[in-house]
Structure 1
């Protein structure tokens, strides 16, 4: 039976109506990267050599990867001007304690062609694959030049890491190895994480696909949700996702869930496909989160945004993630250490029992559970912001004398 679709919150609607950022998953600014190569030949550093003033209580964040938007709009709850996601240049400001943060993003943020208003910088980079790494490296060389000209004193990096945790290219840039990066915030369960100079960072929602900041509404909390669960995504052959599909079909639970599987991954989001996906999250009590190349996926955070409980396949994926004594091969350390109220399963064979139990839970109990999830997620983002700003300020502002 057709589900009545409610008008989403104005902000979500606004974001949804704006056009998408382009077809490349990890960074919407492919053209810009080509332009930067040409610009760099002519780069002039004159604008960068402002005289050094007193101790600087400001930190500038340069967002050169889509996860920068999660950092700024979701974790800092900062605004961007202009609001148009396709704008060439967007900026925002936020004050935390007595530190001024500013955020710059967009294709026009090109090395040597924008003012650097502080001696403290956080660079948000994409290290997902080869082409991205060479682009990220150019930005680090640019920062090195600024250090030599005395403008820049402190640099941190937020890195969208490789899904297999193959990030060795950045090692030589770390301060402890003679480089300039004092602090590294990195996605996935990297074995390097020590909470001293390397910290785990969440993947967050797919901002590159225009997933919005979602404001909780009365109906999101209190309405009956017509579907037990949802899974909209690519099903790879012989993957656990294929196993999941088979298990759902066996018990006829695929009829009670919103399932939309495709064989081919599609980076290009349309307004219709995004709305469809958001509706699935809003109208399901559970969101199924099978592993992809890595256990952590955008879907986990997107489900949290809509109060749909993530059912997470809690297995370590291949590659170099988590294989250190600290991690004991358990994935999703960042979420677990903060007490994520998810349903963790080791095998999709456990799902039918979970769905049977789900059918017996009364609405009042579901409302309570949604409340807990939404509150937990808000708290998670607030804690991350506090940790991020504390770590930066302790490293950057306390020792600005050297």
Structure 2
């Protein structure tokens, strides 16, 4: 009996051990066989992907919150902007485009139009490349843009019907070069390789642009639309329109993206002026006023006697730092009231203090605008400080000293938002004018 009981216990223990071994085998080896076939690299990817995705979402959220320059203002307008964005997207992508336009950029202002206003990209990105091109769709129009030294009359294929030609007509040498392009375009129109032509012109700073008059369609020529820089009395908003000077792209001034620090950091300088001082000019008067009141020690001031057409990497960085670290940018007149400095200050959220006086020459009011100088900027509500005489500057600077940081932040937001809106409005206005003119004439 005792032997039988002993055997039974041994049997149960052996059975328990066998069951344990089977269970262990099933747990550690059975599941592995049931896993789907794939490489170890594939399994590892599958295992870490959800975690990586979660981290990516978290990182994106953190970055969005940290670098969102508009903060509460954007949250308040989020629903409206989302709806507007959808409307613009639907308008620009719905169906095929009705108009194809090629832009020939033969002046540096073309880069301001394409990269800053149209927010277009260029391939290659190298600014020294012989040939650069890009594409963009705005409204019902598909744009292509070409620029560079290799864009020469007669040395590239013309397979478009509508062209915008960007030219420099500021001085005699440039006018000669621009005239060659217009004669080339005229020949293309005559042999019916081109149907429509518009010109964006960097005009003369005294608004002496009579040389282009014979080419305008209203005078028997073939240029249907003229977009001209500076306050030309020709501007009528029918076939001649004002265009902004923009930033100095010929000096490689970049497209500037707003950042959190640009908006919120305390800026160490009250104002800045880096530029050429001409004898017996208002710029000389400005320097004297700054020195007289000791404000030159509170502002970033760097004066030179001779104009330099090109920037070094160091001088460009110094200039950008001055804009970024100053609350105000002083914008005295040069040959013309409008200067690159105005738009460059806007890019960095530094309020332009503009000398609002007419310069010598033929620029002035037009039949549709009566607020020269800077009619385009004023008509679009530029939030600048306009002064008639630099003797007003000490009072402006004294007031500036009393403004707290939060007020300056709000003012920077307003300036940057206005400048973004300004460029967006110009892009749509430019496109609407081309569509209204070119498409209507195609139907007639």
Residues matched between the structures, number? 348
- Say whether residues 1:63 and 2:108 are aligned partners: no
Following superposition, the deviation at residue 401 of structure 1 comes to 4.0
Greater relative CO, 1 or 2 (CA 8 Å, sep 6+): 1
Following superposition, the deviation at residue 148 of structure 1 comes to 1.5
Q: Which has the higher helix share?
A: 2
> TM-score with structure 2 length normalisation?
0.77
Match of 2:372 in 1: 330
- Say whether residues 1:250 and 2:276 are aligned partners: no
Match of 1:300 in 2: 342
Match of 1:15 in 2: none
Deviations 1:70-115 (A, max 9, x none): 0000000000000000100000000112321000000000111112
- Say whether residues 1:230 and 2:272 are aligned partners: yes
CA distance in 2, matches of 1:352, 1:203: 28
Secondary structure at the counterpart of residue 124 of structure 1: strand
- Say whether residues 1:272 and 2:314 are aligned partners: yes
Structure 1 unpaired stretches of 5+: 1-54
Match of 1:104 in 2: 146
Structure 2 unpaired stretches of 5+: 1-96
Which of residues 282, 300, 305 in structure 1 aligns to 2:324?
A: 282
Secondary structure at the counterpart of residue 441 of structure 2: coil
Match of 2:168 in 1: 126
Secondary structure at the counterpart of residue 442 of structure 2: coil
Alignment CA distance shift 1:389-1:329 (3 Å): closer
Query: CA contact under 8 A between 2:235 and 2:366: conserved in structure 1?
Result: no
Match of 1:164 in 2: 206
Q: CA RMSD in A?
A: 1.1
- Say whether residues 1:389 and 2:423 are aligned partners: no
CA distance in 2, matches of 1:98, 1:332: 30
> TM-score with structure 1 length normalisation?
0.85
Secondary structure at the counterpart of residue 158 of structure 1: strand
Worse-superposed segment, 321-330 or 273-282:
321-330
Match of 2:419 in 1: 377
Secondary structure at the counterpart of residue 176 of structure 1: helix
Following superposition, the deviation at residue 164 of structure 1 comes to 0.1
Following superposition, the deviation at residue 151 of structure 1 comes to 1.1
CA distance in 1, matches of 2:310, 2:148: 19
Query: CA contact under 8 A between 1:303 and 1:309: conserved in structure 2?
Result: yes
CA distance in 2, matches of 1:147, 1:375: 41
Query: CA contact under 8 A between 2:236 and 2:367: conserved in structure 1?
Result: no
Deviations 1:17-38 (A, max 9, x none): xxxxxxxxxxxxxxxxxxxxxx
Deviations 1:137-182 (A, max 9, x none): 1101101111111110000000000000000000000001110000
